[in-house]
Structure 1
């Protein structure tokens, strides 16, 4: 009888273990669904993202937008700081819900992400030392060393980077690139208008001039993980409403005014 009872006990235990494991998985999914997991990398320059001394997101346009999104969804936010190269894998694997200030042309697998409507457009700039000649075409970059951001994609220049006609030189921050430009270690720095003008205003550094890139200003979007289709659609709908409300344009004007 003891042997029979032991066998029955073991059988019941084997049947229960998968149920316990399933319950644990359901609990984890439930916990994830109760927060908004947003990637904001410190490779995003101010005023897109402003980090404190402890490398925690403190303020900036990204926080403004995602905090407003969280208010729409009535969810707390968990901010995730990742290197730019890890942003797309985390979205694809469902480790995060969204990352903003992206464009389908800037990622490797755009069709595997869900995209919001464009939040706004941004003018790309080629920053040079003030005394250097203007850069108004790709031919002016021949043999030049261009300061770029590590992990970022530059579709307009990818071909000349690959051929070696133009030298790509990565750094982690805009400030680092501009310092190297001032020191003569770079010829040009790639950045965007809001970041460059914010830097000039807050640093009072008048060493540089900037020329607009010859291509059309690209749209800036949020890329959403498809891992949870329902969550992705909720985020997309809420962000589109935020765009249509004028909230983002108001915040852009706020940061632009800080530059004057």
Structure 2
């Protein structure tokens, strides 16, 4: 099967800005960071700009509720924490957890259930627990942290980094690696669309997660205001409708 196209290396290295709607004079702006290595359902890019996906639609909805014009900033993963700490044209990034972005950030209320999972090719015996793959190469995404796996495996955690999940799935299909760590939301999206390139054992759940938005400590957006907007989206079903689009 054909896997969806990945973001070009040029797009990964560029810092791109894309406005949503027209900002009126004096209207505040919500500067939203987006990791350039993402794939659907988290984000779809066109000409170096996010145009669809969970993170895109969530940010647009937040902007409307907060009365702010949304501007997206496409950045490499390794720069996210630094940009949020500096707070220059960087208010927040969503669908993260504190373990992925350590530092003096403010965290919103959690709003989306997800999980880190280990997937293994059927050419290998199915691991019963994470410790069964200690010392074996595991497909990971460059710049991403896996605190639960690091704790469980210690020096036996042998990373095999790739730019994104799609590249890791290609490496699984070619036999270059036998295991990879994937997010449940993204994995199930690809599975439903028939876009997994090989036979896999049922995934082994490593950690259950509830993702949130990381807010810059220098942002002009108060955390209680962000939390109130997310709570309203949960209460009126608009958040569930966004998520349902990708199920």
TM-score normalised to structure 1 length: 0.78
From the superposition, tell whether residues 172 and 216 of structure 1 become closer, same or farther in structure 2 (CA, over 3 Å): closer
Q: Is the 8 A contact 2:27 2:69 kept in 1?
A: no
Match for residue 57 of structure 1 among 41, 50, 54: 50
Structure with higher helix content: 1
Q: Give matches, 1:73-222, under 5 Å.
A: 73-95=66-88, 96-109=90-103, 112-159=104-151, 163=155, 165-205=156-196, 207-222=198-213
- Per-residue CA distance 1:172-210 (angstroms, 9 max, x = gap): 111111111111111211111221122234354451325
TM-score normalised to structure 2 length: 0.81
RMSD: 2.2
Unaligned runs of 5+ in 1: 1-30
State the partner residue of 1:21.
Answer: none
**Alignment length (residue pairs):** 222
Moved over 4 A (4+): none
Structure with higher strand content: 2
SS of the aligned residue for 1:136 comes to coil
Unaligned runs of 5+ in 2: 1-24
- Say which one has the larger Rg: 1
Distance apart, 1:222 and its partner CA = 0.4
State the partner residue of 2:33.
Answer: 39
Q: Is the 8 A contact 2:44 2:52 kept in 1?
A: yes
